[in-house]
Structure 1
Amino acid sequence: MSQPAPPLAQAFDHWLAHQRVAGRLRRGSSEAVYRAMWQALSAWCTAQRPRLRLADLHGEQLLRYLASRHGQQLADGLLTPRYQQRLLSLVRRVQTHEAWRRQQASAGPAQALALVRSAPAGRAAALPAGQPAAQSEPPLHLLPTAVAQLQALLTQAVDGRWQTSRDRCAAALMLGGGLGPGDVRALRLDDAARQPGANGPRWQLAVAANGSAPAHSAPLADWAGAVLGAWLARRAAEGIGGPWLLPSTRSGKPWGKVAQYVAAQRVLADAGLPDAGGGSFPLRHSFALRQLQHGHGADTVAGWLGITDPQVMLRYQHVLAGWPSAARNEASSARPWPV
């Protein structure tokens, strides 16, 4: 029987898994750098007497470690000031996540439900009294009340700038189709098509491969399909050119990462929702939770999201299990299309 992972390695693995689900590690190179940094730190902690734990990694101990490594060649180069800053940030983030994870695990059912019920509309959980805000883990998703609030905005007619229609369409594709920010920027006009359905044609998107996610088909919830249809009509009426479904300019230039991020934050602000961290990825995660909540199978939802790692779906199911039963059991008869 294999031995359990040492606590330091285990804490890092928990944090890393959370970052993958949150969409905060999109490049394999970033993950490799963080892992190399953590392995070097763990080896040093293990060699100390007494052996250092995660909770010991503060002030004096971290200064001792940095001093021991100063000037040495590491996997990604010299121990530069930037490397040191990244290491300190990594330690803080792993400690924060571990504290959050233990708080979630130790909360009794009644306490967990109280946390969910008392959370503000835009946040997934609140902290118990007395716990510093820095110890909380940024929420990965919107609560159902916040989803409804955002959806109400996205389905309103837009009479202003065409960019506002584009921005809200992008948010609708994430909240109503499970796409990530990179997915919506990469969509071309011919990636959107109406497919026949029992209740009439429905919109479906051909999503290109992105990182570890394979190319896949993403059906849209009816309300999101209506938003897409309205955007396409507006796009044609405005004479917007280029092959991209959601271009950045009237001439059709591709939408940049930073510009799309700013636009998503503006949409959330217009809906009266605070920035809960994670950029616009919480919309994708909210889509996944909503489909599970309404009775769609984990394999079906994974296919819509382009997810191949079963641990990601287990994470979603764990989050859903912490919701109040009234919200968790809204499952309608499972339909072959998102809601």
Structure 2
Amino acid sequence: MSKLAAWDSNPLKCFADFIAGPDFALTSSRQRDLAPKPLSPESAAIYRFMFGKFAAWMLEERLKMSTVTGRDLQRFVALAHDGQRDLNSKIAYRYLRLLERCYDYLERAPNPARDAIVGIDRAQIARDAPMTALNADELQRFMAALPGQRADDDNKASGWKRRRDRAMQVTMALAGLRVAEAIGLLVDEVGRQPDIEGALVLNITPEQKHRTSYEHTTTLPKEGVAELTAWLSERAELNIPGALVFPANLEGEPLHKATVYRQVKATFGRAGLAVSRAGGRTLRNTFASQQLRQGTPQSELTTVLGLALERSAEAYKYAKVNEETSAPEAGPTAKDA
């Protein structure tokens, strides 16, 4: 069986074998060593995740490595990640460069990934906007606009979901959790007792979370501990089955990420914060940016965030953060008039 036929038959296994051996390093334009250096386990995991998404897309589209065209690949990178991926984004370019190396190894000519790269505006890639993070004043406004603060929320039958959302958003903002990590957070991963500073340890494991999550430990500061512990107490009183800290319903089923996005976006709206990405990613960016500004070493932040590579944490140095200003006092509202 030819290499290309083998990749058509089992692309995931063939790709895993490819990146585990010396051939992958030899396809790199940067590789100049006589003895190619093997990939680190962390880098290999990232590449396998990326190729896994491509393989799943090929299956959905009834395509194979031997039949994919350059136009198909442009369609893949433009529509990847819930249809929000810009063809000129950096991740689109990285996908195509990875696939270009695969097709070089398979000796397919012309190389469809190289053809697809021609359609990317390299100058536009360099102008990608930096990630957005809130400054301290904006974070305070976000926290003041959290759900679950209205008087009618005292009714546990109708208000428990708002109090769940409140505790979840506090945990995301102050502990730096990914949305998938918040959705999949387990009761047993929450520390039993606060430490001497009043903070609560969260031991994050990949179980029931995003498959790119790595086991790591982060800390919810005392400012957020009361919200989380109050919710856990209410969750126990409601007798919600299962192990999820923030379940979707009283049956203990998991939340959908789109639901979390809508709830976080609503909080941004109530706070009057106009940001380019009003979702959980901005909260995580805010946590990471603040950690760096407070002097947390980049290597330590990498561990706290559960990142595979230290250079991934470096991007948070360049997050777009507005200059902090004191929030103006609230004026009279129409209700007061």
Return the TM-score normalized by structure 2.
Answer: 0.57
Counterpart Cα distance in 2 of 1:158 and 1:319: 33
Alpha-carbon distance, 1:219 to partner? 0.8
Secondary structure of 2:202's match? strand
Q: Measure how far apart 1:233 and its partner are.
A: 2.8
- Match of 2:191, SS state, is strand
Contiguous gaps of at least 5 residues in structure 2: 1-27, 31-42, 80-85, 91-119, 154-158, 326-337
| d(CA) in 1 for partners of 2:231, 2:122 | 39
Partner of 1:249: 249
Which residue in the other structure is 1:181 paired with?
A: 179
CA RMSD of aligned residues (A): 4.0
Aligned to 1:313: 313
Aligned residue runs from structure 1 range 146-225, under 5 A = 146-154=138-146, 157=149, 159=151, 160=153, 161-195=159-193, 197-199=195-197, 201-209=198-206, 210-225=210-225
Q: What amino acid is aligned across from residue 286 of structure 1 in structure 2?
A: T
What is the rounded CA distance, in whole Å, between the counterparts of 1:235 and 1:97 in structure 2?
50
- Over alpha carbons, which structure has the higher Rg? 2
Partner of 2:102: none
Tell me if the contact between 1:191 and 1:207 (Cα under 8 Å) persists in the aligned partners: yes
- Contact 1:189–1:244 (Cα < 8 Å) also in 2: yes
Deviation at 1:263, TM superposition (A): 2.4
Q: 2:160 is matched by which residue type in structure 1?
A: W
1:104-143 deviation digits (Å, cap 9, x = unpaired): xxxxxxxxxxxxxxxxxxxxxxxxxxxxxxxx62643223
Change in Cα spacing, 1:76 to 1:289, as seen in structure 2 (3 Å) is: farther
Alignment of 1:84-99 (within 5 A): 84-86=74-76, 90-94=86-90, 98-99=123-124
What's the secondary structure of 1:146's corresponding residue? helix
- Residue 155 of structure 1 contacts residue 223 of structure 1 at CA under 8 Å; is this kept in 2? no
Deviation at 1:77, TM superposition (A): 4.0
Matched to 2:271, the amino acid is A
Which runs of no fewer than 5 residues in structure 1 stay unpaired?
7-19, 37-72, 103-135, 328-339
Query: Alpha-carbon deviations, 1:270-303, whole Å to 9, x = none?
Result: 3323462374111111101111112222222222
Q: 1:230 to 1:294 in 2, by over 3 A?
A: same
Q: How many Å separate the matches in 1 of 2:311 and 2:191?
A: 31
- Return the match for 1:29 from 51, 56, 80: 51
Shift of 1:249: 0.4
Native 8 Å contact 2:240 2:250 kept in 1: yes
Q: Which residue of 2 aligns with 1:75?
A: 65
Identity rate, percent = 21
Counterpart CA distance in 2 for 1:26 and 1:137 is 27
Q: Distance in 2 between matches of 1:270 and 1:237?
A: 30
Q: 2:8 maps to which residue?
A: none
How far does residue 150 in structure 1 lie from its aligned partner after superposition?
1.0
What one-letter code is carried by the residue in structure 1 that aligns with 2:203? A
Q: Secondary structure at the match of 2:203?
A: strand
Measure, in 1, the Cα distance between the counterparts of 2:301 and 2:295.
Answer: 10
Equivalent residues, number: 235
Which residue does the alignment assign to 2:271? 271
- Report the AA paired with residue 255 of structure 1: L
Counterpart-to-counterpart distance in 2, 1:86 and 1:166: 36
Are the counterparts in 2 of residues 171 and 267 from structure 1 also a CA contact under 8 Å? no
**Matched AA of 1:91:** L
Q: What amino acid does structure 1 have at the position aligned with 2:165?
A: D
What is the correspondence of 1:4-19 to structure 2 with a 5 Å cutoff?
A: none
Q: 2:136 aligns with which of 144, 164, 172?
A: 144
* Structure 2 counterpart of 1:151, one-letter code: M
CA distance in 2, matches of 1:220, 1:194: 12
Letter of the aligned partner of 2:164 in structure 1?
R
